[in-house]
Structure formats: C-alpha cells, structure tokens
Amino acid sequence: MRAAVLVEPGRIEIEERPVPEPRPGDVLVRVAAVGVCGSDAHYYREGRIGEFVVEAPLVLGHEASGTIVAVGAGVPAARIGQRVSIEPQRPDPGSDETRRGDYNLCPHMQFYATPPIDGALCDYVTIGAHFAHPVPESVSDDAAALCEPLSVGIAAVRKAQLTAGSSVLVTGAGPVGIVTIQVARAFGAVEIVVTDLDERRRELARSFGATATGDPRSFDMSAVRADSYIDASGAPAAVDSGIRAVRPGGTIVLVGSGSESMHLPVQVIQNRELVLTGVFRYANTWPTALGLLTSGRVDLDSMITARFPLEKVADALESDRVPGSLKAVVQVAPLVEEQDHGTR
C-alpha cells in the first residue's frame, strides 16, 4: 500500500508499505478520506507538539473514514463492507481511566498520528472493531472523517454544561470553533458569541450559528456575561479576556492547544467561583456525532474548503495558510485493486 510518511520536518515521502494484518478484535479499513488537523500541520512544520516529539518517520492523519475489508479473530465477518468513521484511539482496557469510562485519559493510549503511532494517511489501517463506527449512506466519506473534530466539539460542549437557553462565548473560529458553534446550537444554546481576528472566519461563524461575532482587538468583552466560555484558539490573551466574560458560577473549557503555561486571572476565577477545566480528545462521543450528522443539526461537508489526493499531502498540510481556508480533506484511493483479505 501507499503511505504518506513524514520523514523529517517539512518533508513528506510516499512509501510502499505492507498492508497491515488485523489482530484479534481488530478490523482492517480501506481508507477513504482523512481530514487535516492543526496538529498534523504542527508535526509537519516543527516535528513536535509539546511533549510529543517525532523521532522517527511517522504517518500523519487521525481524522479518518473508510470501508472495512477484513476482520480479525472474534469480529463478525458480516462487518466486511461496512462504511465506518474511525475513532483513532487504542486505550488500554485494563487502565483505571478506561475502566471508569475516561478512556481518552488512558496513560497507555495509542492514538493515531501521535508519535510513535502511525496515522491514517495511507491506503489501509487497522483499528479495534468497537472504534470503527458504522455510518449510514446519507453521510459522506468526508463528513464521516470529520466526526473526529466534531467529537472534540461535543466533548467541549458537554464539559461546558450547555443546555436549552444557555449562553456561550467561543474564542477562535477555526475548524474546532466552527464545530463547537454548531454543537452548542444543537444542544440548545440561544446566545453564541464568537470572536476571531479574521473577518472571513467571523462571517463563517455567523453562517454556522453564531448569534454575534467580534474582533477581539476591539470587541467589548465586558458586555458579555456568558454561562460558559470555550476557548478554541489557544491564545493567552483570548483566554484571559474570555474568563473575565463569564458570569459568576459559570464554566470555562480550554480546548485550543496553546502555550504550555499562561497567566490566568486567578482572583476572577476564585471570586466568581468559576469552574475551569480542559478537553483532551474525547470519549463516548461518536453516537452523538453521528446522530447530529444524520439529523441535519450539524453540517460538516460545508466546512470543507479544499480536497487533495494522497500524493499532495504536503500541499494539504500547508493549506491552512491559504486565505479563506477552513478545513482540508485528503481523499485516499487504493493503489491496487482490492483483494479478498478474508476473515483472520
């Protein structure tokens, strides 16, 4: 099979690799589409994200969809042929975190495209059968791949405790900010205020459900008293001003991957008894994601602004620098005619 391999920062090479064998409990998926995440671009340009460092050739991509073409022992052969959205996680089933339901926090997690685990920018991948979620025909391959960032938005909105009639401030109108806006609206938020430096992204935010938008350089945050605040920017200035815009007893959720440390208005947090938490990936979100998609409450296809073949992965990783870009998808096609891998 083909694999787009990051061999060093700024260099992707297409390599020939063996098709992986599905282990017991696994499925083999022929990859259809892979969304490009900001983390992929960071690894491509800088070779690291915080403590996660690329020290050997790595296949990027963790937002993926495809079709099951083979199954491992213990998985019904009837699953062959299913179109699926991949939840790109392999937690340790015996860890304390997994056993209590917080499997995203498993210290032994093997996550696609997080060094040293290869991702999905290749023709075939394996994943645990329970993490290959069947999708209906009404959901496109591209949208099925983007269930992954949608899951981040779902995790954030759940942590923010949004419900019918809630108000929320979102800073950052990139892909995660846009899905968060859509999820907040679907969960019943009636006031969704969004700030971003880019006017084009503020326009996108309004088209996806924001009730008000503003440029953080001039927007009057003191006029906002949101029930919850979700940061999807990672910018220290945004976090500081966003915290000050939350009503007493409200909730702050940090989603954006920003500085390792930053100044926080501790007295505001303490005196208003604000709840401050973070989001690290997601757990138990795919059923909700697929429900939002099939019901039409969330639109992922309209977020896609560019599509690339596997051979143009480097261009896809640079596409976030193109004015007006929101979300790029790599559409992967098998190199060879599909073989009958059978049941293993």
Q: How far apart are CA 207 and CA 319, in angstroms?
A: 22
So what's the pLDDT on residue 339?
Answer: 42
Record the tokens describing residue 171, joined without a space: 């800073």
pLDDT higher for 2 or 338? 2
Average pLDDT over residues 32-52: 94
Under the banding of pLDDT at 50, 70 and 90, the label for residue 131 is very high
Model confidence, pTM: 0.94
Under the banding of pLDDT at 50, 70 and 90, the label for residue 324 is confident
Q: How far apart are CA 184 and CA 168, in angstroms?
A: 8
Across the beta sheet with 11-16, what order do the strands follow?
11-16, 2-8, 58-59
**Percent of the chain residues past pLDDT 70, beyond the cut:** 97
Average pLDDT over residues 303-316: 97
Q: Indicate whether 335 pLDDT > 50.
A: no
pLDDT digits (tens, 9 = 90+) for 171-192: 999 999 999 999 999 999 999 9
Helix or strand or coil: residue 30?
strand
So what's the pLDDT on residue 273?
Answer: 98
Q: What is the CATH number of domain 150-278?
A: 3.40.50.720
Average pLDDT over residues 223-239: 95
Instruction: Please give the CATH architecture assigned to the domain spanning 2-146+300-331.
Output: Alpha-Beta Complex (3.90)
So what's the pLDDT on residue 184?
Answer: 98
**Percent of the chain residues past pLDDT 90, beyond the cut:** 92
Task: Give me the half-sphere count of Cα atoms (radius 13 Å) on the Cβ side of residue 228.
Answer: 27
Q: How far apart are CA 34 and CA 128, in angstroms?
A: 18
Q: Indicate whether 139 pLDDT > 90.
A: yes
Average pLDDT over residues 202-224: 95
So what's the pLDDT on residue 50?
Answer: 82
So what's the pLDDT on residue 191?
Answer: 98
Compute the Cα dihedral for 159, 161, 165, 171 and give only its sign. negative
Q: What residues contact residue 24 under an 8 Å CB cut-off, 6+ apart?
A: 72, 73, 74
Indicate the average pLDDT of the chain: 95
Q: How far apart are CA 243 and CA 218, in angstroms?
A: 17
Of 89, 109, 61, 39, the C-alpha closest to 332 is: 61
Helix or strand or coil: residue 222?
helix
pLDDT digits (tens, 9 = 90+) for 89-113: 999 999 999 999 999 999 999 999 9
pLDDT digits (tens, 9 = 90+) for 263-294: 999 999 999 999 999 999 999 999 999 999 99
So what's the pLDDT on residue 261?
Answer: 86
So what's the pLDDT on residue 25?
Answer: 98
pLDDT higher for 197 or 341? 197
Q: Where are the domains of the chain?
A: 2-146+300-331, 150-278
